[in-house]
Structure 1
Amino acid sequence: MSFCDTIWQELAPLRRAILDQPFLAELADGSLAPESFRHYMLQDSLYLAEYARALAIASARAPTAAGRLEFSDGAKVAVQVEQALHQAFFAKFEVTPEMAQQAEPTPVCLGYTSYLLSLAATRSYEELIAGILPCFWVYWEVGCDIKPRATSPNPYAPWIDTYADPGFGEATARVRALVDEAAASATPATRAAMATAFRNATRYEWMFWDSAYRRETWPV
């Protein structure tokens, strides 16, 4: 099996835990508390701004033209999602510009973005893109899982539609291919480090939704 298929299968229990999140179950049936979704959107906006930086660094470090184009396009899309989808939801869920400007990253948001940027700054290109991939792949799996069972009408339908869109699945497949390509020529030690980066980023995905559901803030 390829690197991506192997690590994806290994993390099946963690992926199941993500799909079983109360946040996502209630988002699917439309019962998620607006306060939890508002918390999520504010934190996701902060996350995507830093994720776009990690993608831009991956583009600069990519050894192939395909990699440079894919990750630069991904950085652009991350900014566009923040500006379009989030602004629409900000208006719908009564998030004012002042609230957005004053939002502070939670421990989970700061931990996740700092981890990705530490990969970008101190680790190999291969580890960086392995850490970038879960944000694509996990969201694609979540979107595809929720879409068939989502209630209609649903206040969260635009979010569901975004991540169940075939175009997002195609982007995910392209990033997967780049990760597999990098892993194929990497040393065993580098592949092990890539697996660690992918695993840690996937853990952060679980933590991100969990913290939003609980509306986590700094404890002190």
Structure 2
Amino acid sequence: MSFFERLKTAASGEWRAYTEHPFTNGLADGSLPEAAFRHYLVQDYLFLIEFARAYALAVYKSPSLADMREAASGLSAILDVEMNLHVKLCADWGLSPADLEQAPPAAEMLAYTRYVLDAGMRGDLLALKVALAPCVIGYAEIATRLASLPGADAATNAYRVWIAEYAGVPYQEVAANARAHLDHLADRYVTPAREAELTAIFKEATRLEADFWEMGWRAGKPVAELR
């Protein structure tokens, strides 16, 4: 079993809560309220800005040139590809990139990104990549599952573009490379004693990912249902 699979197995409850959250199912069948998706997407744009900083930190933390190049490719994927998708989708609501950058950050977004950056600052490259893994690799797994569900690519599904982006070959390759690099780092640096520490980081990052979905999910609920 690979290192990443061991992490998933150890965090199976957290992983299911994240990858099978009702928010994701609402994307697949198109039932997710627009308000929920819009709030999520704006916060995810802010999230990606901080994630880009984490990848820049990964360049600094890299012990080899190959590791630096891997981190730099992840940084490019965020700044040059993923953020453009958010800009394109938000433009339909009349939101400019400046509007997105100036949006008030949600507590869930701050909690998650601060956790990832702190894991990277305190630890080595492997600790940082473990904290990044639920997002980078998890989105690919989620999108693959959603794309296989009936109606996910229907013309009437407002979220088909989002699903197609993360289920598509380019992003799936980004996730596969991230997983391979994580396993490569683990082969070099993981010891039985340290695996428990890294598993704890993975569990917390995965829990914070589920909280991020929940943040968007709540934004689409009537106020009466939240009381």
Superposed pair shares fold, TM > 0.5 = yes
| Residue of structure 2 equivalent to 1:130 | 130
Alignment of 1:7-86 (within 5 A): 7-86=7-86
Percent of pairs with identical residues: 35
Preserved CA contact (<8 Å) 1:34 1:93: no
Distance 2:130 2:15 in 1: 16
- Secondary structure in 2 matching 1:185: helix
Alignment of 1:104-115 (within 5 A): 104-115=104-115
Distance 1:76 1:56 in 2: 10
Using the TM superposition, give the Cα deviation of residue 188 of structure 1 relative to its aligned residue in structure 2, in angstroms: 2.9
Distance 1:19 1:77 in 2: 22
Using the TM superposition, give the Cα deviation of residue 213 of structure 1 relative to its aligned residue in structure 2, in angstroms: 1.0
Whether 2:203 is the aligned partner of 1:208: answer no
| Residue of structure 2 equivalent to 1:194 | 198
| Residue of structure 1 equivalent to 2:187 | 184
Using the TM superposition, give the Cα deviation of residue 98 of structure 1 relative to its aligned residue in structure 2, in angstroms: 6.0
Distance 1:167 1:90 in 2: 21
- Secondary structure in 1 matching 2:133: helix
Distance 1:145 1:19 in 2: 9
- Secondary structure in 1 matching 2:105: coil
| Residue of structure 2 equivalent to 1:160 | 163
Preserved CA contact (<8 Å) 2:46 2:101: no
Distance 1:189 1:62 in 2: 22
Aligned residues: 216
Distance 1:158 1:107 in 2: 27
Q: Residue 179 and residue 101 in structure 1: after superposition, are their counterparts in 2 closer, same or farther (change >3 A)?
A: closer
Q: Normalization by structure 1: what TM-score?
A: 0.90
| Residue of structure 1 equivalent to 2:177 | 174
Aligned letter for 1:121?
M
Alignment of 1:142-161 (within 5 A): 142-149=142-149, 150-153=152-155, 154-161=157-164
Using the TM superposition, give the Cα deviation of residue 85 of structure 1 relative to its aligned residue in structure 2, in angstroms: 0.5
Using the TM superposition, give the Cα deviation of residue 41 of structure 1 relative to its aligned residue in structure 2, in angstroms: 0.8
User: Is 105-114 or 147-156 further displaced after alignment?
Assistant: 147-156
Distance 2:83 2:20 in 1: 29
Preserved CA contact (<8 Å) 2:23 2:214: yes
Q: Normalization by structure 2: what TM-score?
A: 0.87
Using the TM superposition, give the Cα deviation of residue 138 of structure 1 relative to its aligned residue in structure 2, in angstroms: 0.8
| Residue of structure 2 equivalent to 1:139 | 139
User: Is 16-25 or 131-140 further displaced after alignment?
Assistant: 16-25
Q: What CA RMSD, in Å, does the superposition of the two structures yield over aligned residues?
A: 1.9
Aligned letter for 1:152?
A
Unaligned runs of 5+ in 2: 221-227
Please give the per-residue CA displacement for 1:10-69, whole angstroms capped at 9, x wherever unaligned: 223323222432211111111211111110111000000000110111122212333211
Aligned letter for 2:178?
V
Distance 1:19 1:83 in 2: 21
